[in-house]
Structure 1
Amino acid sequence: MEISLADLQTYRGAAPDEAVVVVDVLRSFTTAAYLFRAGVRALLLAATPDEARSLVRRFPLAATVGAVPGGFPIDGFDFGNSPAALRNVCLTGREGVLCTAGGVRGATVARQAAVLLGGSLVCAAATANLLRRLDPPRVTLLLTGIYADRDGDEDIACAEYIMAHLRDQAPDPAPFERRVRESTFGRRFGDPAYPHLSQADMDLCAQADVFDFAMPIVRREGMMLVVQEGRWRA
């Protein structure tokens, strides 16, 4: 298995036999994992708030979740891009509509991959386990958190942790968890200057292997859906 890293600026598209893990630790695919914990059956990905609202017209019971660049909540949505806001929520049997800057964009640019997964630290080992079972010839870990003002080390750390699992190195999660907290974006969480970025979110995002499922991204009827490994049926 050939393993490589790319970011949204360097990625050139998926080969037909390639697996891609779209890594967004802060916070898209951490939030997605907590949405599955809350009971959603599938997450529909929306590139824009208007697209999200259009999806809600098709799925009127869907919960809208998301943020604009910088992590600010979207006006009129049920939830921000916040795993902490979902800890005590029950959404059993409902769809979710997820609209975020990094994670959704990454899924869109890699949509032709033979295997496409959403990745974050909370489900990293499960993601690696699924990739080992599928055994694709090539895996790209696509980093979504690198911007002019952000080093993206939260995603690099997660990707390197997944890589270590794929290479059967039994990595200690603690250094990778620490890097999430100490990344450029990570240090904004809990800072009063960024009230929309809570310490509670960071405390959830920086925990490795909370969940034992991976999150495949599939295409159905012109839509992209994140699903919970082993529990979703069309």
Structure 2
Amino acid sequence: MGDLESEAQLKELAKRIAGEIVLSSNPGNTIRKWRNLLKISQVELARELGITPSVISDYESNRRKSPGIRMIKKIVDALLNIEYKRGGKVLKEFFVERVEIINAILDLREFVEPVLVRDFCKVINAKLITDFGEDDELYGYTVIDSLTAILELSPQELVKIYGSTTQRALIFTHITGGKSPLVAIKVTGLKPNLVVLHGTTNVDEIARKIAEVERIPLAISSKIDVKDLIDSLRKSFT
């Protein structure tokens, strides 16, 4: 990463990741979030740490006691070392993006094998409210803090939270009517294979209309809180 401004930037990012893990109410989720953001597999991280992938899986699923400060430092160093060896392409993006982009992403994952929309909806107790899309395939998901994403990100920045493919589910949390996220998606010009509005049963008519016109499958999920939502996703798609 010869063109990065300084080693101080790496240290700054390491502190940001470590601090987020330490302060998180669910450290396992946060470790997994950053591993996926950096596009590093459990096997790669385990190899770098000299441990088995099952240990990483146990930490991320909270089957193992939350890692202490020393272990968190080792995990963060290993993540950054792997990315450094790859040339630092993903890391470079973090130095030019605003922190809001990272904070807007609560969880994300890419699937090895496609998952049908109807099967994905079952996992999170979501109801598809459009009459199309249930047989569409998903190759990942992103859980988004809508308050941060909609209020603080530009359309160009919003595109960056999609992940590696638009053939995914975008799950917007803390929703009231759903108008804002659907308008934002329309502005970006990108069409996810599924949008889930979490936290509401009353969908704004404009949101419905955009979904229909743009042919974006739309679902609602209000039966579980955000933590349980993410836990359900992680248990089903680890």
- Higher-Rg structure is 2
Bigger helix fraction: 2
TM-score of the aligned structures, taking structure 1 as reference length: 0.32
TM-score of the aligned structures, taking structure 2 as reference length: 0.31
